[in-house]
Chains A and B, each alone.
Chain A
C-alpha cells in the first residue's frame, strides 16, 4: 500500500455541498471488473455539462488536493469513487464533513480525508478560486495543514493514521485475529443467525 507522510500541492476548489458518488463517478463507468481505469471518468458528467467546471480549467486541474464542502461522498457506496479520485491524481480531500461509507472506503485506499470547520473551508475555497497558484501543505504525522499562511491542526483517527503512515492493510490486521474470530463463532453462531 502507498504510504502517506507530507504533501504540498495546488488545490482544486469544488464549491459544493453534498458532492455525491454519482457525480464523482457516474454509474455507466462502473462496469469494469478491475480497480483501474476510473481516473479518466472522474466527475465526467459535470465536466461534460458545465464547460467552466473546475476540472475543465487548466489553472486548477493538476492539483493533488481537492477542497470541497459538507457531506462529501454521500450516496452510493461505490469504492470506485475513491479509485477514480486517486487515479486522477488527487491524494487528499479536504472538506467540512464526509459521508460515512466514503470515509471508510478512502481509509482502505490511503486517500487522506481531512475535516475542517465550515468557515475555514469557505474562506479557503474563495481564496483558491481567486488565486489558482496558492499551494496547500499537509503533514499527516504532525496533523497540520497550511494554506494562505495559516496553519491548522486537524483530528485524525489513531488507527487509520497508523495504517496510512505505515501503508498497512486492514485485512492483515483482521486475519491476525483468527483465534478470536473462531472463538466468537463457536460461542455465538447458532440457528437464529
Chain B
C-alpha cells in the first residue's frame, strides 16, 4: 500500500490504537523553555512521577529573557522567577539546559536544529505552537499545551487523534525578490488562518527542494498560522548535509545507517492525501501582511482588500480600524517606526546575511528603530565571524543578544503604542508586539529595505 510520509511517521510512533480513543503516540524529543514548563515540572513533583527518558529533553531560555548586553540581570521579578524556576527544575531533574553564555542558548526552534537534536522521522513536541519549524527536517513536530508536556515527560507519550494529511505544492519560479517567507504568507493568504485545521501539511515541489534548511524552517514554522497541526518537508541531501557532524546527530557508522533509513522517508509515488492544493508562485514577488492576522497578507505590489472581498466583514473592519489603513490602498510608501529582524521564523544566519547585504553601505532611516536579534548564540557567533555585526552597527541598527525579543512582547523588547513595525516574525495579532502596536509581517529583505527607506518597500525599490 502506498503511503505519504506523514502517515509513515505517525504509524511508526503509535504505541496503542483503539476505536473511539485517541492514539497513544510515542514522543522522541521534548523541547522546553521557561514559559510553558514550570507547571509541568511542578505537577510531576507533586504527584511523585519521575521523568521518563530525560535524555530526550532539552531546555533553553528564550521568551522572557532580555536581549540587551546586560541580559543576565532580569529586572522584571516575575520573569526572573520564571527563568530561575526552569534553571532549578533542570538542575534538580538532570535535564540538559542551554542557558545564557553556554554558547548554545537561543530560541528553542533555532537551537534544536543547530544542535542536531532535531532529526528526520522523529516526533518532537514543545509547549510552543511554532514547534512545526522542526518539520523542515522531515520530523513530525507540533506544539502542545503544558498538560501534554507533562504527559510526555512522564510517559514519553501523548494522546492525539490521527491528523488528516494535506499536500501543498508550490509551483513555478518566483521573481528574484521572493523568499520562503513570502511563499508561506502566500499559502496562508490563499487557504486562510483556519485552512489547515486538523491537518499535517507536507510541502512539496521544485521550489521547496531548491530551498536551504533555513528557508524550509521558515515555511514549516508558519504552518500553524494556517491552523495546521504541523508542516514538514521530506528529508533529502540538503537535510543530510545540514545535519552531518552536529552534536546530537548520529556519528560514524551510525550516521551512515541513519542516513540510509532517512532516505526511505518519502511519500510513495501515488500516495494519497486528504487535501491537496497547488500554489502558483510563477513570477510572484514579495508579500506582507496589512491586517490583524497572518491571512491578511497581500503582494507588496497589490492593494488591500475591499470590505466585501470575502471573509468575516466584522474582522476586516476591526483590522482596518486597528491598522489605520483603508481598503483598496497600496502599502508601499506607508511610513514605519520600527523594523524587527529575528524570531524562530527568520532569526537564522541566512536571514542575517540577507539583511547585511541590504544594509551594507546604507543607513537605517532616522525615523526607524531597527532591532536585529540573532536566533541563538551560535547564529550570533557566526554573524560576528562573518563581520555582519559591523555592517548592522554601521547602518545604525541595534544588534542584540539572542531570544524571542520583539516577536511577542513578553520581555522588555516591545513596539510602543501606536507605532508601526515591519517584522520578520510570525504573528500580526492585535497587541502581539506590544499593546496597540501595528505589525506588518514580511521577509528579512523587505524588512531591511523598509528600514532603510523609512517606509514599506521591497528590496527592488532600493
Residues of A within 8 A of B (CB): 15-18, 20, 22-23, 26-28, 30-35, 45-46, 48-49, 69-71, 74-79, 82, 97, 99-101, 104-105, 108-109, 157-159, 170-171, 173-175, 177-178, 180-181, 184-185, 188-189, 191-193
Contacts and interface: CB of A to CB of B under 8 A. Distances in A.
B150 interface: yes
A74 B157 CA distance: 24
A181 B156 contact: yes
Contacts of A45: 430-431, 435
Contacts, number: 201
Interface string B301-324: 000000000011011001000000
Contacts of B161: 157
Interface string B18-32: 001110101010000
Interface stretch (B78-86, B212-220, B381-389): B78-86
B155 A181 contact: yes
A34 B42 contact: yes
The 9 closest A-B pairs by CB, nearest first: A79-B145, A108-B147, A105-B145, A192-B258, A77-B143, A33-B38, A27-B410, A71-B194, A31-B78
B418 to A, nearest CB: 12
B16 interface: yes
Given A32-B78, A79-B146, A180 B16 contact: yes
A18 B197 CA distance: 12
Nearest to B434: A28
B157 to A, nearest CB: 6
B145 A78 contact: yes
B335 interface: no
A17 B315 contact: yes
A28 B409 CA distance: 6
Contacts of A34: 38-39, 42
A157 B127 CA distance: 24
Contact of B129 (A76, A108, A158, A178): A76
Contacts of B143: 76-77, 101
Contacts of B12: 188
A48 B24 contact: no
B157 A181 contact: yes
A35 B194 CA distance: 28
Contacts of A46: 430
Contact of A31 (B82, B150, B194, B432): B82
B36 to A, nearest CB: 7
B198 interface: yes
A69 B35 CA distance: 28
B331 interface: no
A31 B64 contact: yes
